[in-house]
Structure 1
Amino acid sequence: MWIRQAVLAGLAVTALLMATAVQAQQITRVAAASQLRFVLEAIATQYRERYPQNTIDIQYGSSGRFYAQITHGAPFDVYLSADMDYPAALVEAGFAASEAMPYAIGRIAIWSNTVDAQSLVLADLADERFRRVAIANPRLAPYGARAEEALISAGLWDALQPRLVYGDNVSGTLQLVQSGAAEVGIVALAQVLNPVIAAQGGYALIDVDVHRPLEQGLVVTRRAAQNEVARHFADYLRGVEAATLFQTYGYDLPAVIP
């Protein structure tokens, strides 16, 4: 009898350990570029409703900082960058368990909460009424790099140097304008289409011809090589349902959507 009880107890412990292992695998940690916050929260809400057994934990920040953290062992399973360069670099360096996959194409816009930005063009940023112009740090944030390219294309980069203020990422750039630290900024279109932000001021879309495309990519990290939930969420981000939300929030789509 005691042998049978011991065996049953052992089986129960084994089952508990297996259940714990499965549960742990279902927790997927996502590092996402800051301008994705509004659209990704909508996508994640939709995903959780469809797959409540899968836990998705999302952190937002600059693409460059997340890239550096992942290469130093940060515990992220899926990485959504604001460009394709950082994901491709992770693949090249052996820190990815998937290829670098495009999921959306971003746009940049001039935005202000104190002046009517709807009629502004890049050349207007040289106006003396704009004592401070905010952009994301071009060395850390792809949206900042594209803002720099746009200003160079307009012949304004050198002239605006003394007036530029930098956010760590494009969310920080928006906050610089909101706080009054800058009168105007170049931010993500996805941010200013959010109803809360849209109510604070107008925007002017910047022509795509003045900067490189903001093709955004993702990877499943090496840490998540055996994490099926991470792969499932990555696939969902590139699926039709997510594509609809990306378009709603002002993103263009890659040429191929599965």
Structure 2
Amino acid sequence: MIRPLLLLLCLVFQAIPAPADAGGAGAVTVAAASDLKFALDEIADAYARSTGQQVRIVYGSSGNIARQIAQGAPYDVFLSADERFVEDLARRGLTVDAGSLYAIGRLVLFAPQPGAFEPDEDFAGLRAALAAGTVRRFAIANPEHAPYGLAARQALEHAGLWEPISKRLVLGENVAQAAQFAAGGNTQGGIFALSLAMSPAIAARGRWVLLPESMHAPLRQRMVLMRRASSEARAFHDHLRQPEARAILRRFGFSIPD
């Protein structure tokens, strides 16, 4: 039997559909970094209620989405967790322009409850737990293609813990899966997006601390329209820059650029 939390997380962090299934008549198709799961769902639901326009959202790691777009995936809008992926697509001529910065993300150190360590911004609790052997599995997103995974690696390197913890890592395909692993009881903790830690599904399952921005490169998140974007897609893209949408992003812990 699947435990209740795992069932909940399976419902929350749905599998990413194949690019071929992304489109749909009359729908705007958005590809988004998985740290946006809760915030963007709320934005899209409110937008649908006020306009009647349906928005289909595919979540994944920014690197994998960018690769899909380069291979012809039929997305209208791309919200990346790392602006470099958008800039690369723009250089290839696949977007209408270089996009715009819509948010800056943050990382948290998370421990499920009851936990093997107390999260703190200096990693003292995690360092002691590693030395005592009580941390056997630790979750982050895959640094190879997930911006939050790369930032997590940088934070661990900054703390001098990358080598001690590297053999204990459980890598999520994206940051939402890393949060699932960290909160699901199969690991002793993890590092993932503040925006996910602030969701009720995760917040109730453990304790977390916000990590200093100085520990990793800035998580500058950029969005862009694809060349195929319809007028409906352009309208939703414009809505993401309006005060209502920005307020929701801010509520989920994102810093919003001027």
Give the aligned CA root-mean-square deviation in angstroms.
Answer: 1.6
Amino acid at match of 2:125: D
Q: What is the rounded CA distance, in whole Å, between the counterparts of 1:167 and 1:240 in structure 2?
A: 32
Pairing of 1:92-131 with structure 2 (within 5 A): 92-114=91-113, 115=115, 117-119=118-120, 121-126=122-127, 127=129, 128-131=133-136
Pairing of 1:51-130 with structure 2 (within 5 A): 51-52=51-52, 54-114=53-113, 115=115, 117-119=118-120, 121-126=122-127, 127=129, 128-130=133-135
Amino acid at match of 1:178: A
Q: Kindly state the Cα deviation for residue 119 of structure 1 after the two structures are TM-superposed.
A: 4.3
Secondary structure in structure 2 of the residue aligned to 1:217: strand
Q: What is the rounded CA distance, in whole Å, between the counterparts of 1:201 and 1:120 in structure 2?
A: 16
Q: What is the rounded CA distance, in whole Å, between the counterparts of 1:194 and 1:151 in structure 2?
A: 24
Which segments of 5 or more consecutive residues in structure 1 lack a partner in the other structure? 1-22
8 Å CA contact 1:123, 1:154 repeated in 2: no
Q: Kindly state the Cα deviation for residue 183 of structure 1 after the two structures are TM-superposed.
A: 0.7
Q: What is the rounded CA distance, in whole Å, between the counterparts of 2:108 and 2:118 in structure 1?
A: 9
Matched, 1:251 2:250: no
Amino acid at match of 1:30: V
- Which protein has the larger Cα radius of gyration, Structure 1 or Structure 2? 1
Q: Going by fraction, where is helix more abundant, 1 or 2?
A: 1
8 Å CA contact 1:123, 1:156 repeated in 2: no
The match for 1:41 is 41
The match for 2:194 is 189
The Cα offsets for residues 117-152 of structure 1, whole Å up to 9 and x where unpaired, read as 454642432323211111100111000011011111
149, 154, 157: which one pairs with 1:152? 157
Q: TM-score, normalised by structure 2?
A: 0.84
The match for 2:226 is 221
Q: What is the rounded CA distance, in whole Å, between the counterparts of 2:184 and 2:122 in structure 1?
A: 22
Secondary structure in structure 2 of the residue aligned to 1:222: coil
Q: What is the rounded CA distance, in whole Å, between the counterparts of 2:86 and 2:72 in structure 1?
A: 15
Deviates further, 152-161 or 76-85: 152-161
Q: What is the rounded CA distance, in whole Å, between the counterparts of 1:45 and 1:155 in structure 2?
A: 42
Secondary structure in structure 2 of the residue aligned to 1:112: strand
Q: What is the rounded CA distance, in whole Å, between the counterparts of 1:223 and 1:70 in structure 2?
A: 11
The Cα offsets for residues 143-186 of structure 1, whole Å up to 9 and x where unpaired, read as 00110111111111122211112101011101212333321000
Q: What is the rounded CA distance, in whole Å, between the counterparts of 2:48 and 2:34 in structure 1?
A: 20
Deviates further, 54-63 or 115-124: 115-124
Matched, 1:240 2:243: yes
Q: Kindly state the Cα deviation for residue 28 of structure 1 after the two structures are TM-superposed.
A: 1.1
The Cα offsets for residues 101-132 of structure 1, whole Å up to 9 and x where unpaired, read as 11111110011223264546424323232111
8 Å CA contact 1:125, 1:133 repeated in 2: no
8 Å CA contact 2:119, 2:126 repeated in 1: no
Q: What is the rounded CA distance, in whole Å, between the counterparts of 1:164 and 1:212 in structure 2?
A: 21
8 Å CA contact 2:95, 2:226 repeated in 1: yes
The match for 1:50 is 50
The match for 1:212 is 217
Matched, 1:175 2:180: yes
Q: Kindly state the Cα deviation for residue 32 of structure 1 after the two structures are TM-superposed.
A: 0.8
Amino acid at match of 2:71: H
Secondary structure in structure 2 of the residue aligned to 1:76: coil
The Cα offsets for residues 205-244 of structure 1, whole Å up to 9 and x where unpaired, read as 10001111111111111222xx111111111112211111
Which segments of 5 or more consecutive residues in structure 2 lack a partner in the other structure? 1-23
Q: Percentage identity across aligned positions?
A: 40
Q: What is the rounded CA distance, in whole Å, between the counterparts of 2:232 and 2:97 in structure 1?
A: 14
